[in-house]
Structure 1
Amino acid sequence: MLMYKHKPNTKRFAAVDLDPYGCPSVFLDSAVQSVQDGGLLLVTATDMAVLAGNSPETCYSKYGAALRIMLQCIESHANRYGRYTTPLLSISADFYIRVFVKVYSGAIHCKKTTSKLSMVYQCTGCDNFTLQPMGAFKPNPTEKNPQQMKAYLPAVPPVGEFCVNCNQRHHLGGPLWSAPIHDEAFVARVLTHVEDNMHLFGTARRIMGVLSMVREELQDVPLYYTMDKMFGRVHLETMPMLVMRSAILNAGYKVSYSHASRMSIKTAAPAQVLWDIIRTWEQIHPVKQAKLEADIVAKFIIKQEVKTPIDLTERQDANPSSRREGRVRFQFNPTPHWGPGSRAAVNVGDDKMSKSIKNQNKYSKSKKNAKRQHSSSEDDERKKANTGGETAL
């Protein structure tokens, strides 16, 4: 209600920080209206199971999409009021995700939102993903404006009925935010400020580590692969990360980590190239034939011909600067029991005994009672038989 009361331009806040217990979606409608033009909106979400898509139906009802849904959801709320957002920093750390966006007004810019969103086709066999933009722009020059652009709807679908890598079908998810999720200049300024004022921040090393990783991320690659999952899909020993990164660079493609995962690979290289690298590695570290024969998807992937020249020679630039400098790159819980616990329970009445104590030995007691009842019934039957069908008193 406080945010709704500050919708008028003269009353809007310079910054709004949403950090609720769990899902922030119920606060977004009022938040995007109460931030002044060019103001800052910060949103934290701790319901990671929902955000990760472990419960697709819950995810859809709360956010409207299954992947990279936070930014898409904020943008959709802002667009309803002729406003739009620009992400400054989006991070995943510990048990939560947190996004920093600037909010602007301008109905004409809202029309560009579709070019920032995509649907995603994810293969059910090899987990390969293909993005389908919801909108795009192409040149439409005129005499008055040679730089004019025209919006159009891209053709669909971008995938065939079966995945070219493993011959399986696809799941469909989205819409998701597929534009950059960080502002490199903003991140650089924050990182410099923290480095110059470490005494002001109790977690300066962690902040510097996260921001260093964010700066290294490929901004034009929305999603990432998880390397151990790819190798596990074909029952292979996972190759060293530096070897994989070197192979991608040797094939002529850029590569980076995602700050969200130690085993992540962000690259614009086609999935075919990544599987060719894995197939080349399999020639040196062959998978057991029995496992291949029992898994038709793994067999289909491994038995395909290697079409890309693969060089597994390690190279120096495959080792990112954040790793060479010893930054705290991937965050771990700093102390035992760190993170959100269960909601507080309210004890009603005089009986404050916990549920676990109440139910202790409940099953065994019920079994004993059932045995007693069964034995009593048998005794009654025997008595009836001995008294000509009437129970002895």
Structure 2
Amino acid sequence: MAVQYSCCETEFFIRIVIITLLVLFAGLMSGLTLGLMSMSLVDLEVLIKSGTPSDRKHAAKILPVVRRQHLLLCTLLLCNAAAMEALPIFLDSLVTAWEAIILSVTLILLFGEIFPQAVCSRYGLAIGAAMAPVVRILVWICFPVAYPISKLLDLLLGKDHDALFRRAELKTLVDLHGNEAGKGGELTRDETTIIAGALELSEKTARDAMTPISETFAIDINAKLDRDLMKLILEEGHSRVPVYYEQPGNIIGLILVKNLLTVHPADEVPVKNVTIRKIPRVSETMPLYDILNEFQKGHSHMAVVVRDHSDAELSATEKPTDARDVRLDIQGERYPQEKSLKSKRALKKWKSLPSDTNVNKSKSKKWSNDFHSEVLHINDEPLLNFTKEGEAIGIITLEDVIEELLQEEIYDETDLHEGSQ
């Protein structure tokens, strides 16, 4: 098309204004495409709940606009394409054809792509919030064309594009936000360690945190609480002591050291005559999160870890149970566990937490079946041999789980006393 308008005519300035508006409009659409589409719904929800006051206002305005991502994408691209296609038409009426091509490409590249995207990538939240009403209007204008295309994209690609961080990715993200990473993060080393420990807790099992039976201090139920045994119990410094029958691997209960305050060593009272509390038995493959949840109910802060042979006994036709559906065993029964052992770390010395004075009165179905008493009643009948039901391989306490959460050893008064000797 030949040049129709020369300089300094009214139509010439009108074309200049239209060309300028088209370039700015194309740049705005290009910048909003980058700025708005780079914000996931999860990011906006996080900003709405925990961002700065200004970020909360901006995210609240943007969230309804980007909720239908494919419709928004089609609208912005249609508007951008329309502006870029119209630009050479108006340039062609002012300059020659080859000049129109060069000018349109240059203007679109610089002012319609590079500069707008650079600005919106840095200030996308504020610009997106300011232009949210305009984007709403454009969505309705382009709706007849954009909606069918967006529905096709929903059908082919799916509606939800929000990918949450996996556990390993979230752990890495937390590490990068630590102040030791040198990236300006605010999290301290202890905070990142505890968060990482909480993320890893579901992958660890009872075997990872237990104390082996060979390293556990336990007393025979037929022993007498004479002066030597009482002195040994006090020297160990534990608040709970496991009690076994016939052999150390057959743990049948535990005693609270505070209950021995009324026992006189000269009387040589048998252990079976004092209050012995029942001790739960858990599989070695039980996740630490489940053990922690049961410890919080107050029935016991100590459990016997038994060897799990259920994985080998499951047939190929059996449907595996959910890893979180775990049953604890007090009376010697066995329940299959699906969650397998992930890793094994170096075993550490066993310690127990101070005894509780308040016991939760609510009973848990996971903790026992028809479990009406926390006390083991001793009579003339032979005691149970739990080794036939499952080989005890260790003891796990609430403190062991907390140490896995903190990812460092908890030192009490007894540890400090022993270390100074």
Calculate the TM-score normalised by the size of structure 1.
0.17
Identify which of structures 1 and 2 has the higher relative contact order when contacts are C-alpha pairs closer than 8 Å and 6+ apart: 2
Calculate the TM-score normalised by the size of structure 2.
0.16
More strand by share: 1
Task: Compare CA radii of gyration and give the structure with the larger one.
Answer: 2
More helix by share: 2
